[in-house]
Structure 1
Amino acid sequence: MMKITVGELLQLPAMRGAELIAGQGGLDRIITSVNIMEVPEITRYIKGNELLLTTTYPIKDDIKAQRRLIIDLHREGVAALAIKPIFYGNEVPAVMVELANELNIPLIRLPDDASFNDILNPVLGEILNRQASILRRNEETHQALTAIVLAGGSLEEIAQMLATLQGCPISIHSANWQRLIFSVPLQISEHVPGSTLQAMKELALGLNENLMKMDALHAADGHYRVVRDGLTLAFRTHPVTVARETFAHLVVWLFLPDSTGYDILAMEQASTVVALEITKLRAVATVEQRFRSYFIEDIIQGKIESRSIAISRGVSYGWDLGASFIPVLLEIDEFRRFYHQPEPSPAQILRRLWNAVSVSTAVYARGCIVVDRGTRILALLRATGSVGGQDAGQIIGGMAEMINEELREQENVSVSFGVGRRIEDILGLRTALNQATAALEIGQLINGPASVTSFDDLGFYRVLFANHNRDAMNQFSQDLLRPLLESDRSHNTDFIHTLEIVLKCNGNLRAASRELFVHYNTLRYRVSRIEEMTKLDLGSFQGMLNLQIALMIQRMNRHRSAE
């Protein structure tokens, strides 16, 4: 600990004979200066973290003033009060002792022969020496970090330097708490058991916002304590922020009982260097990702016509394009709304989506190929074999759940998935991508946000999606539904919604009336009006089929016009 505490003050030679008589719980208070009280209104001249020396002569006969003094010192954040009680028969007034214990303000009784000058000078000297030591250490930290940056050092080197400097483990995490680095000091006290280090390492791997909210005892200033298998693990988090965006998290793992023995300034200095390094890594990753996306786009556009050439080029990116793949297309639901708000920006939202996708593929689908397509992300999931005994559907479902949970907590957004058919030849990616696109767009339409829709589950929508004669389809839908739509607009008749529910219930009017919360006879009247206006019989298969198709076309058109 670089700053002097009240407990350490009592160990100094200048405090020989001094006795702590109250405020045991405040021994860890920091002392930054010393003051002497010999006037009644001392609170106008004191400041936080001071050691106050006094005989309390101005208030020796005023019990209310003695009580008020303790309360005022507590309010101002004074570190400790040291009294030379020569005017009280060498006993500190009971009211001051009682209140100091209640407020945890260290109350020290000085010996009769104590000289304030003999205390003042050594304590100030100790404070100045420690401050000079802090400045030297900060300079050493600055030079060490600068050397790492100039040498093109990595996050591993930064973490190792910090761990050695702090004398305790350091971990660096991504913005969404994925552990990137865990480093331990080169030399660790023999009193630290290996089980503690292992528990810290394992907890760092599973660190996340939920754990810190639900499972950890949270103290002030980012301090946390978590109990694991009977071990109490303490750590402090330091966010690495750039332009109000969290880039990463620095975590210092503390050895108990001394959970404050580290240099906060060093962590703050390191945060700047980590931000620079992560910015550099992001820039490199962005360029690499752009080239990967260009390559996959060339395959989709048919610019690469040889399978062997595609496989050969894929090797340079670490991909085995000779495998079978299942295309999965992801998109944030209603992404357009982020174009019209300052925070978070569309770029920030997409970056957080990428972070969530990276974590989910690392957990569920290692080796998955992920590229961007504007505001969408294309993931090519290897279809050969399974992962951890799970089939493709389970893997995609797990990814969708993890990504949506992560983004829902961060930004209250949802992500939908469209899944195309398995391809054995990478050159068939264009067709499979079209299928995934249809599944994504129609799935958002018929299943709502946060949906996972497979192309094979689209049913008749696949026919509508593939039909290029959209004018004929639209005319078919308008001819049947126009009277109902006009009546709904002009008279609020709700015919379209009624028709949707009747068809959903397969023509069962009693079931439909319950879902619509209307009387059975009311629904029968509505159905008769629908049949009259459309000139179709809802009791016949042909009539129900025509109206179902017309509604499906209308939903697709509504979805396309909203894009």
Structure 2
Amino acid sequence: MITVKDVWRGALPEGTELLGGGAGLERRVEWATALRTRPPAFDAIKGGELAFVPVKSIRMLDERLDLAQVMQSFAEKGGVAVAIIGDASQDGIAVAERMMLPLLRLPEGAHAADVQQATVRYILDQRTLLHERQQELQLQLMELALAGAGTAAILDRLSEISGHAAAWQDLEGNVQHASAVALDPALLEALTGDVARVRRWAESTPAVAADPPVHEFPLAGTGQSRLVAPVPLRDRLGGFVSLIAPDSELDQMDRLAVARAASACAIELDRERAVLQARDEMEGEFLDSLLAGTYSSEAVVRNRAERLGFDLSGSTLVLLARPDPGRNGSSTRVVHDRLAVAASGWTRRRAPSALVAVRQGALAAVVPIADGDPPPDASRLAGDLRLECAGSLGDGAVSVGVGRSKPGIAGVRASYREAEQALTMGVRLFGGARTVSFADLGLYRLLFALQGQAELREFFDDRMRLLADYDARTGAGLVKTLDAFFRCHGSPTEIASLLHLHRNTVLYRLRRIEEIGGLQLDDPETRLALHLCLKVREVLAATPAER
């Protein structure tokens, strides 16, 4: 692609200046034309033309016309730039800015016909040169991609070919690879700080892997610019390739080189993705059989684990992340794919030895613990996993259940069942967007095992039904006061502080609890039964059938 800026630098006479419309300097130039003194003003405009306009000739064409009108009409028909001989009116400059139509002024003594012919020759020569260069670049960079050399090798070759710094960034702006020149701290900071603007441009510009678009962005505070091309994968953008140099050194060859490099990176990333997808499927099938306990023998499991590079000789810890109920309606496929992205990010950054898979709408992660190694910080791992999943889903909260570390192959399934139970209990009891460890559930583990049995409700009814019914009728808050009684170890002063009540009010409520329930709060057996009833009440409220 030959841009207005390329023509300005390569074909127009020295001393040509830009008067307005600089936002359109990246527009593509297909041909050059000149204003005629008899209708029609220009030869047939097909789009992409740069027009040479002697300002004095406008009145010879039509006394009613001025520069602004000629520019407006030319732009509406598809023209991309105007180069004038003479002075520009303020109206003409305003049209240039509004239409993003670069308005250039040729130096005194320039002849429109001569400059037009020179520009046409430049365009034709550049097309031939670019075609030859494209074939050469295509051969060099595609050989690397097809050989599986990796994106780093492609970027290094791009830098070698162009003589400029080259960088590869992911969608978040993280520089995944850069040539030595690009590792300057100021450049790195400018690259990462500019990612939002680059991403907006890339997401709003049609892109295909065979011919990615290229745009030039200045790097603030560095005195340099970069040519950027997105890397279009089959269903999303895979990142950005950049060439970095002082503005005056970036030319059409560099533009072509960065586009070919992005195209080669797209092939490489799609290939890597296919390999990873195949491995993910193998790991997913293996993990499914491991968590479900459907393997034929432990020897078979160990053999498959070794082939996948997963160590089952020590203990394992299982985490289970699931979107909370009530998220907005993303499809099952979308949720699955986004959880898979979260799994990839989490394992790469936090748990490279973990085995992960998305199953039944949740993300299961098995973390190995080698014999003799200190146990991992399960709470931190789970918190990082929850944030990774929530960030990937973007439209709802996520909760994580954590099992206890267990030895042996059978321990994987045992830890998984604990993680599943912790996740289910935690969401029902405490709400979503949290991490719940099975080890922290305490008494709730026993109570949940009894949910649905009549004895659990009868136990509650025998000891607390009168208080609960009284609260329901009067809103007296006696059950809440009783809960505070146990939290504060029976201290009226601490209860008053916790509930923001007067101490005398607390004493009155405690007496009413004893009177209405027929209870003695100073009796140890009564206290134990009431404290247990408060836990039972939470379990009953969290049981779907009881809601």
Q: Does residue 1:114 correspond to 2:111, yes or no?
A: yes
Q: Which of these residues, 312, 337, 358, is aligned with residue 326 of structure 2?
A: 337
The whole-number CA distance in structure 1 between the counterparts of 2:112 and 2:219 is 46
Distance of 1:290 and 1:17 partners within structure 2: 64
Deviation at 1:172, TM superposition (A): 6.9
> What's the TM-score once normalised by structure 1's chain length?
0.70
Question: For 1:392, what is the secondary structure of its paired residue?
Answer: coil
State the alpha-carbon separation in 2 of the partners of residues 356 and 250 from structure 1.
20
Q: Which runs of 5+ in 2 are unaligned?
A: 204-215
| 1:123 matched to 2:119 | yes
Matched, 1:248 2:250: no
> What is the one-letter code of the residue matched to 1:318?
G
Residue 238 of structure 1: aligned partner = 230
Tell me by how many angstroms 1:461 deviates. Answer: 2.4
Q: Tell whether 2:438 aligns with 1:455.
A: yes
Distance 1:303 1:464 in 2: 34
TM superposition shift of 1:321? 1.6
CA 1:235/1:16 → structure 2, altered by over 3 Å: closer, same or farther?
closer
TM-fit CA distance, 1:556: 2.9
Distance of 2:315 and 2:424 partners within structure 1:
24
Q: Evaluate the alpha carbon distance shift between residue 464 and residue 402 of structure 1 in structure 2; reply closer, same or farther with a 3 A threshold.
A: closer
2:423 aligned residue (440, 444, 467) = 440
Conserved? CA contact 1:438–1:465, under 8 Å: no
1:318 maps to 309
1:370 paired with 2:356, answer: yes
Q: Is the 8 A contact 2:322 2:399 kept in 1?
A: yes
Q: Post-superposition shift, 1:411? A: 0.6
Which shows bigger deviation, 494-503 or 248-257?
494-503
**Would the alpha carbon gap of residues 282 and 498 (structure 1) be closer, same or farther in structure 2, given more than 3 Å must change?**
farther
Q: TM-score, normalised by structure 2?
A: 0.71
For 2:389 and 2:167, the matched residues in 1 are separated by 25
Preserved CA contact (<8 Å) 2:514 2:520: yes
Mapped partners of 1:533, 1:324: distance in 2: 52
Alignment of 1:27-426 (within 5 A): 28-30=25-27, 31-37=29-35, 50-58=50-58, 68=68, 72=72, 80-85=81-86, 92=87, 105-109=102-106, 111-112=108-109, 114-116=111-113, 118-131=114-127, 156=151, 159=154, 163=158, 167=162, 169=166, 171=168, 173=170, 182=177, 194=180, 196-199=181-184, 212=195, 221=202, 234=226, 236=228, 238=230, 240=232, 242=234, 246=236, 248-257=238-247, 258=249, 261-263=254-256, 266=260, 273=267, 276-277=270-271, 280-281=274-275, 283-297=277-291, 300=293, 304=297, 310-325=301-316, 327-334=317-324, 336-338=325-327, 341=329, 343=330, 345-374=331-360, 375-382=362-369, 384=371, 392-393=376-377, 396-398=379-381, 400-401=383-384, 403-404=386-387, 407-408=390-391, 411-426=394-409
User: Secondary structure of 1:379's partner?
Assistant: strand
Q: Distance in 1 between matches of 2:225 and 2:102?
A: 28
Aligned residues: 521
CA distance in 2, matches of 1:143, 1:94: 49
Question: How many Å separate the matches in 2 of 1:235 and 1:543?
Answer: 76
RMSD: 5.3
- In 1, distance between residues paired with 2:225 and 2:491? 61
Deviation larger for 455-464 or 400-409? 400-409
Q: Which moved more, 1:522-531 or 1:429-438?
A: 522-531
Q: Identical aligned pairs, as a percentage?
A: 18
- Structure 1 residue runs of 5 or longer lacking an equivalent are 86-91, 185-193
Residues of 2 paired with 1:69 and 1:122: CA distance?
A: 26
Secondary structure of the residue aligned to 1:315 is helix
The one-letter code of the counterpart of 1:337 is G
Aligned-partner Cα distance in 2 for 1:93–1:227: 31
User: Given the superposition, is the C-alpha separation of residues 419 and 34 from structure 1 closer, same or farther in structure 2, using an over 3 Å criterion?
Assistant: same
Deviation at 1:284, TM superposition (A): 0.9
Deviation at 1:382, TM superposition (A): 1.3
1:469-548 to structure 2, matched below 5 A, reads: 470-486=453-469, 496-517=479-500, 527-538=510-521, 540-548=523-531
1:556 paired residue among 539, 542, 547: 539
CA drift of 1:114 comes to 1.7
Contact 1:247–1:275 at 8 Å: present in 2 too? no
CA contact (8 A) 1:27 1:106 kept: no
